[in-house]
Amino acid sequence: MNIYKLNEMTTEKKAYILKRAETDISEQMQLAKEVSDDIRARGDKAVLEYTSKFDRVDLTANRMKVKPEEIEDGYKRLDAETREAIEYAARNIRDFHKKQMPEEMWFTEVDKGLLVGEKTTPIVDVCLYVPRGKGSFPSVMLMLGIPAVVAGVEKIVVVTPPNEQGNVDDAILAAAKIIGITEIYKVGGIQAVSAVAYGTETIPKCHKIIGPGNSYATAAKRVLANYIDAGLPAGPSECIILADENADPEKVALDLMIEAEHGPDSAALLVTNSAELVEKVVPIVERQLEKISDKRRDFVTKGFSTYGGAIITESLDESIAFVNEYAPEHMEVMTEKPFEVLPKIKNAGEILLGDYTPVTLCNFVLGPNAILPTGQSAKTYSSVSVMDFLKRSSVGYASRDGFEKVRNYAYKIACVEGFDTHGLAVKERK
């Protein structure tokens, strides 16, 4: 595991840690351009050919869309304990996102006879991208689908890569049924993003696509940015454990590995003012690594030797300053008084407080959304929320008396900016 002292880090090393994995996807973007152009020209036929080529699954056009009975059967096949866990998670996620809903409409009188306000409206349609990889991600279905449903999106479309049998995994189908989503297509990667950007004979065009994907899906979103809103930028997973000398090394060690197991490009850092804590954490991590699969062990080990490890600071305030500069996707505050630290955290996708709030809880069951900004995007982006599925329209009203009061002000500004018809509209209005 890498161990650094912050005040001894070179400028180059610090920049490397702050940058984390920045994957060059130029080759993927070239491929995405070729595939998307082909899908635009040939529709379903091209989608099916690329699904066979990339996912090694042969489908027909009438099998791309998941049938209602497939959703029902998948739900029934899933074991009762897993269904219960998904249903519990769904309740918490739904409650959390209901609290986010803004007023549908509001007005205020800025001056006598002058009313202004906002009207909030759901996006008409949205595509949810639910990845698959080597396993199933029902949690992503919940984190995307529930805020879309709560927001009131009329048409929700899901695209997700098929498994080896050409089906959607039961856990994803069960999650879809629990939250009430019925329109699901067995397609992923470049071909999925292209299909919803342009529309095909089977797959509808959507105005927005949101959800994490691999480098090919990311490349397709960039290539097709003029045709579809690609939503939140998301890259390799990352987490900071912010700890002081009072932190429990066992809990720190366990939580430090959580996001590191996502892949070799993931970043997991312990940031602390206690060198003694680091000394205790390292052997515990080594011991815990023996309990996980070879694949996950390799991911964690590589992550700790590249973008992760431990950074020792001279004070808690210095640790906090580094966290704000880093702007992590996930962060845990494992200090003596975490609620006193909370106001000082300015940049983080999510902030988890105390010894018993590991990232695992928020990833799956606690309620807050686990689809978060990465790569310092947390400085300007927020987690996925109902607001990703809503849009705001400004509303204004002027009575005749209100108009007369402000017409000259508006006319003067129109003249300054050189807009003749703007000026005429108020100057010559009877």
- Using CA atoms, how far apart are residues 160 and 157, in angstroms rounded to an integer? 10
User: Three-class SS of residue 188?
Assistant: coil
User: What are the Cα distances from residue 69, in Å, to 177, 346, 367?
Assistant: 11, 47, 29
User: What are the Cα distances from residue 144, in Å, to 151, 177, 191, 245?
Assistant: 11, 14, 20, 38
For range 28-32, the mean pLDDT: 94
Low-confidence winner among 132-141, 236-245, 329-338 (lowest mean pLDDT) = 132-141
- Give residue for tokens 């962060």: 331
Question: Could you tell me what percent of the chain has a pLDDT over 70?
Answer: 100
What is the structure's pLDDT at 233?
Answer: 75
What is the structure's pLDDT at 224?
Answer: 96
Nearest to 382 by CA among 357, 359, 350: 350
- Using CA atoms, how far apart are residues 97 and 93, in angstroms rounded to an integer? 6
Q: What is the DSSP code (8-state) at residue 226?
A: T
**C-beta neighbour count of 401 within 10 angstroms:** 10
- Using CA atoms, how far apart are residues 117 and 370, in angstroms rounded to an integer? 32
What is the structure's pLDDT at 274?
Answer: 97
Give, rounded to a whole angstrom, the gap between the first and last alpha carbons of the chain: 76
- Give residue for tokens 């309990």: 291
- Global confidence as pTM: 0.93
Tokens found for residue 303: 């992550």
Using alpha carbons only, how large is the chain's radius of gyration in Å? 25
The answer, yes or no, to whether residue 245 has pLDDT greater than 80, is yes
**C-beta neighbour count of 58 within 10 angstroms:** 12
The answer, yes or no, to whether residue 81 has pLDDT greater than 90, is yes
- Using CA atoms, how far apart are residues 168 and 184, in angstroms rounded to an integer? 9
Nearest to 64 by CA among 179, 218, 196: 196
The answer, yes or no, to whether residue 134 has pLDDT greater than 70, is no
The answer, yes or no, to whether residue 260 has pLDDT greater than 90, is yes
Low-confidence winner among 210-219, 286-295, 381-390 (lowest mean pLDDT) = 210-219
Q: What is the DSSP code (8-state) at residue 103?
A: P
Nearest to 100 by CA among 127, 120, 81, 114: 120
What is the structure's pLDDT at 351?
Answer: 98
Q: Backbone phi, then psi, for 168, in 5-degree steps?
A: -95, 140
236 or 271: which leads in pLDDT = 271
For range 418-426, the mean pLDDT: 97
Number of H helices, E strands in the chain: 18, 13
123, 207 in Cβ contact below 8 A? yes
When pLDDT is cut at 50, 70 and 90, the band that residue 25 belongs to is confident
User: Any residues with CB less than 8 A from the CB of 140 and at least 6 apart, and which?
Assistant: 130, 131, 211, 212, 371
The answer, yes or no, to whether residue 49 has pLDDT greater than 80, is yes
- Using CA atoms, how far apart are residues 177 and 46, in angstroms rounded to an integer? 29
Q: What is the mean pLDDT of the chain?
A: 95
Q: Which amino acid is residue 370, in one-letter code?
A: A
Q: Which amino acids are annotated catalytic?
A: 329-330
**C-beta neighbour count of 391 within 10 angstroms:** 12
Render 30-98 in DSSP notation, one character per residue: HHHHHHHHHHHHHTHHHHHHHHHHHH-----HHHHBPPHHHHHHHHHHS-HHHHHHHHHHHHHHHHHHH
* pLDDT (tens digit per residue) in 94-127: 999 999 999 999 999 999 999 999 999 999 999 9
For range 248-264, the mean pLDDT: 95
Domains annotated for the chain, with CATH where assigned, are 3-22+235-367 (3.40.50.1980), 26-107+122-223 (3.40.50.1980), 399-427 (no CATH)
The answer, yes or no, to whether residue 133 has pLDDT greater than 80, is no
Nearest to 349 by CA among 380, 319, 376, 383: 383
131, 212 in Cβ contact below 8 A? yes
128, 136 in Cβ contact below 8 A? no
For range 354-378, the mean pLDDT: 95
What is the structure's pLDDT at 384?
Answer: 96
